[in-house]
């Protein structure tokens, strides 16, 4: 990373576009596999009853934070390099394009995951003679896979509900396997790729894609830290390369702790538990508090002690100094004021949503230990 700090733009061109190439290849390959329609059907068929589960809303909100990146500082760091009058809504539509591509990528990834995973149904059956079901005597369409029933056959009482080898070996339902986090990426999907022809090649592409995605995530998250500290402390700006080397060395040390394995006589799970700590305690609670503070400061506190002519002349009818100052700043940069919808979101809806999510996160909290 030290030697790439000046050429990071060229690196990002590859690391940002290569995952889409791999996703496209895996998508085309996945939908051509036998049984892929079952996985896609499971993926696209909604279960409205799950909307009553508070944890579903928590997971959805967490996914938005991780996917779009609000609260991490990355968006603000990147936007600070734009032209002052760059209109992200009318001229280049940066915000709309970024959000649309992000959501489309997540949607496409679902097809890639579920279409490939269901291809191992017959392979799992051949490895599980104890089930009394053989792929030679029963077609794939007659299997019941977590809510699926073929209209051409009667219900078959089998215990196998599959999403790759993990479900085959553990007997768990597909939704239970999909919730296992790292297991889906590092166990279930690689083992599904192992059943395909030219398995080593597919595996190399898949893990190379994961590596490039990890690099992109590191670039984005680090840029927020580097930009903020460089603007605040000139000594860091003048020694940018040294600071980047130290920062990524720190990343490496933290990453090594996640790779640890403690003796089984000690009641400690090692690296996997540290990773759960970072996910649950570090990002969920920490990010929630950070975003709530950002919204409250921008909407109610920002600009209170800074008189501005815009507040008396061109600001909205809302009497709160913070939001009026923020609207005036946007008017100066974008040459138009955001509508009432955005102001209500910043002042009421966003804080209320974050408070409700905090409430459910507290009362439906699951201890990872």
pLDDT tens figures, 132-182: 444 433 344 344 333 333 333 333 332 333 343 444 444 555 555 555 566
The reply, when asked if residue 175 is annotated as ligand binding, is no
Mark whether 34 and 67 lie in a shared domain.
yes
Mark whether 165 and 32 lie in a shared domain.
yes
pTM of the model: 0.70
Neighbour-count burial of 266, counting CB atoms closer than 10 A to its CB (0-12 exposed, 13-18 middle, 19+ buried): exposed
Mark whether 366 and 341 lie in a shared domain.
yes
The reply, when asked if residue 119 is annotated as ligand binding, is no
Mark whether 277 and 301 lie in a shared domain.
yes
Contact 326/301 with Cβ under 8 angstroms? no
Residue ranges of alpha helices (H) inside the chain are 8-31, 36-44, 54-68, 74-79, 94-117, 121-127, 164-170, 174-178, 182-183, 189-194, 199-232, 234-238, 240-258, 271-277, 286-296, 309-313, 321-334, 340-344, 350-363
Mark whether 248 and 138 lie in a shared domain.
yes
Mark whether 225 and 289 lie in a shared domain.
no
Mark whether 204 and 273 lie in a shared domain.
no
The reply, when asked if residue 67 is annotated as ligand binding, is yes
Average pLDDT over residues 221-241: 88
In a 3-state reduction of DSSP, which class is residue 93?
coil
Mark whether 341 and 241 lie in a shared domain.
no
Is it the case that residue 112 has pLDDT exceeding 60?
Answer: yes
Mark whether 138 and 274 lie in a shared domain.
no
Q: Which of 50-54, 62-66, 228-232, 325-329 has the highest mean pLDDT?
A: 228-232
> What per-residue confidence (pLDDT) applies to 150?
36
Q: What confidence tens digit (pLDDT) does each residue in 237-286 have?
A: 888 889 989 998 998 888 888 877 665 555 556 677 777 777 777 777 77
Please identify, among 258, 278, 294, the residue that sits at the C-terminal boundary of a domain. Answer: 258
Mark whether 181 and 316 lie in a shared domain.
no
Range of the domain at 350: 267-369
Share of the chain above pLDDT 90, in %: 2
* Range name among 130-144, 192-206, 287-301 with the lowest pLDDT average: 130-144
Q: What confidence tens digit (pLDDT) does each residue in 350-363 have?
A: 899 888 887 777 77
Mark whether 81 and 132 lie in a shared domain.
yes
Share of the chain above pLDDT 70, in %: 67
Distance from C-alpha of 174 to C-alpha of 198, rounded to nearest angstrom? 26
Please identify, among 258, 292, 323, the residue that sits at the C-terminal boundary of a domain. Answer: 258
Please identify, among 235, 258, 281, the residue that sits at the C-terminal boundary of a domain. Answer: 258
Mark whether 274 and 230 lie in a shared domain.
no
User: Using a CB cutoff of 8 Å and minimum separation of 24, what contacts does 216-221 make?
Assistant: 216/12, 216/15, 216/16, 216/19, 218/1, 218/248, 218/251, 219/8, 219/11, 219/12, 219/15, 220/69, 220/72, 220/74, 220/78, 221/72, 221/74
Confidence of residue 311 (pLDDT cuts 50, 70, 90): low
Is it the case that residue 20 has pLDDT exceeding 60?
Answer: yes
Q: How far, CA to CA in Å, does 353 sit from each of 67, 243, 272, 293, 309?
A: 18, 37, 31, 13, 33
Q: What confidence tens digit (pLDDT) does each residue in 202-215 have?
A: 888 888 888 888 88
Distance from C-alpha of 284 to C-alpha of 95, rounded to nearest angstrom? 24
The reply, when asked if residue 102 is annotated as ligand binding, is yes
> What per-residue confidence (pLDDT) applies to 33?
74
Confidence of residue 199 (pLDDT cuts 50, 70, 90): confident
Number of domains, the chain: 2
Average pLDDT over residues 217-229: 85
The reply, when asked if residue 216 is annotated as ligand binding, is yes
* Cα R_g (the chain), whole angstroms: 25
Confidence of residue 308 (pLDDT cuts 50, 70, 90): low
């Amino acid at each position: 990373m030290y030697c790439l700090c000046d050429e990071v733009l060229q690196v990002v061109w590859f690391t940002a576009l290569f995952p889409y190439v791999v996703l496209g290849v895996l998508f085309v390959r996945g939908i051509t596999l036998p049984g892929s329609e079952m996985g896609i059907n499971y993926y696209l068929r909604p279960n409205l009853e799950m909307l009553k589960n508070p944890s579903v809303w928590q997971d959805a909100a967490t996914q938005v934070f991780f996917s779009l990146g609000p609260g991490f500082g990355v968006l603000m760091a990147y936007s600070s390099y734009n032209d002052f009058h760059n209109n992200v809504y009318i001229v280049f539509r940066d915000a709309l394009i970024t959000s649309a591509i992000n959501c489309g990528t997540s949607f496409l990834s679902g097809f890639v995951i579920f279409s490939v995973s269901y291809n191992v149904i017959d392979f799992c059956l051949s490895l599980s003679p104890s089930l009394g079901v053989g792929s030679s005597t029963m077609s794939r369409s007659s299997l019941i896979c977590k809510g699926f029933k073929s209209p051409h056959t009667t219900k078959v009482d089998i215990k196998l509900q599959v999403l790759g080898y993990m479900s085959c070996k553990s007997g768990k339902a597909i939704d239970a396997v999909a919730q296992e986090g790292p297991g889906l990426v590092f166990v279930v999907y690689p083992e599904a790729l192992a059943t395909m022809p030219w398995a080593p090649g597919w595996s190399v592409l898949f893990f190379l894609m994961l590596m490039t995605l990890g690099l992109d995530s590191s670039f984005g998250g680090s840029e927020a830290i580097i930009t903020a500290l460089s603007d605040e402390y000139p000594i860091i700006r003048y020694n940018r390369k040294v600071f980047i080397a130290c920062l990524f060395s720190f990343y490496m040390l933290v990453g090594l702790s996640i790779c640890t394995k403690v003796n089984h006589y000690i009641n400690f799970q090692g690296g996997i538990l540290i990773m759960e700590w970072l996910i649950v305690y570090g990002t969920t609670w920490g990010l929630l508090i950070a975003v709530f503070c950002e919204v409250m400061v921008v909407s109610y506190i920002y600009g209170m002690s800074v008189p501005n002519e815009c507040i008396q002349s061109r600001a909205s009818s809302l009497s709160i100094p913070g939001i009026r100052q923020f609207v005036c700043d946007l008017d100066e940069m974008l040459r138009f004021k955001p509508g009432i919808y955005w102001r209500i979101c910043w002042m009421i809806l966003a804080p209320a949503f974050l408070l409700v999510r905090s409430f459910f996160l507290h009362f439906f909290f699951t201890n990872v230990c």
